[in-house]
Each structure stands twice: as structure tokens, then as C-alpha cells.
Amino acid sequence: MSVDTILTLLQSHGIRPTSGRILVARALAQAERPLTMSELEQRLVTMDKSGVFRTLTLFRAHHMVHSIDSGEGTRYELCRADAHGEDNDRHVHFHCVKCQRTICLPEVPAPVVELPDGFQQEATNCVVEGVCPSCAHHHPVSHNHNA
């Protein structure tokens, strides 16, 4: 993702571009999967931990990132929502119990949950656990029931 694209993304979400915000957005954009805070810090050695945390908090408040509570802690990914008003990019994530990767599945929408009166939804966190195709291919499950 180019710096111009990142600048446009930040502005479309109502976020003033700063060098730190651009760095965090670029690291998330270049990642092949959602990142933990620790993984993000390792990629951004020029930023301190509190700066990364404040930036992620700001991005969450403006619907620019999703936080995913997976089997390995909270992970963050860029949100593909149109703007900062509402998160229209709610989708499922898959956590592989073999390789411990959390994979974004943007083509699989998160189920809609109808809440009782008085409840206000702020986020949807849908993580499916199982075995990813790569692990299933390398470690096929045995269906021998005579053991």
C-alpha cells in the first residue's frame, strides 16, 4: 500500500496523518495476517510501545482497524470499511489450532446478532477454530476408528 493510499485511508476515517500513524497503518497493510501488538512492535522498532498502543486505540475508535480476540491474544488488522462512521467490514477470522495462525476471511461475513432492546453493539468478533488448509494438507486427519 502506497503512502498516498495510506494518507487517503487515514483522512477518510477522520484521522490526522502523522509519521507514527502512517507507520502503523503501513505495517498493518503489509501484513499477510492480523498482527498482535508484540508483532507490530517488532516491525516498528522506531516507535515505542505506548505510541503503537495509542495509535491502535485511535484507529479502533475511528473504525480503521479491527481487534480480533483469537486463541493467541488480541490481533489487529486494517478495516476495509468505507469511512469512519460505521464498520461495514464485519467478517469471520479463522484460528488454526495446529500452526496457531489467525487468518482473515473477508469473503465470509460475520453472522448478524439480534440483540434485545437496550443493548448496543459496538463490535463483532467471530473467530472459527480448526485446521487450516496448509496444515490439513501436511497433516491429514486419520479416520481410522479401529484404534
| 18 belongs to a structural domain | yes
| 106 belongs to a structural domain | yes
| 145 belongs to a structural domain | no
Q: Bridge partners of 93?
A: 104, 127
Q: Are strands 127-130 and 91-96 parallel, antiparallel or unpaired?
A: parallel
Query: For 39-76, how does the pLDDT look when each residue is reduced to its tens digit (9 = 90+)?
Result: 999 999 999 999 999 999 999 888 888 888 766 678 88
What's the whole-number average pLDDT of the chain? 83
**pTM of structure:** 0.69
Asked if residue 82 has pLDDT above 80, the reply is no
Which residues in 83-96 are b (16+ Cβ under 10 Å) and which e?
ebeebebbbbbbbb
| 78 belongs to a structural domain | yes
Give the total number of structural domains in the chain: 1
| 147 belongs to a structural domain | no
| 48 belongs to a structural domain | yes
| 144 belongs to a structural domain | no
| 143 belongs to a structural domain | no
Domain that holds residue 56: 3-138
Domain CATH number, residue 45: 1.10.10.10
pLDDT of 146? 47
Average pLDDT (93-113) is 82
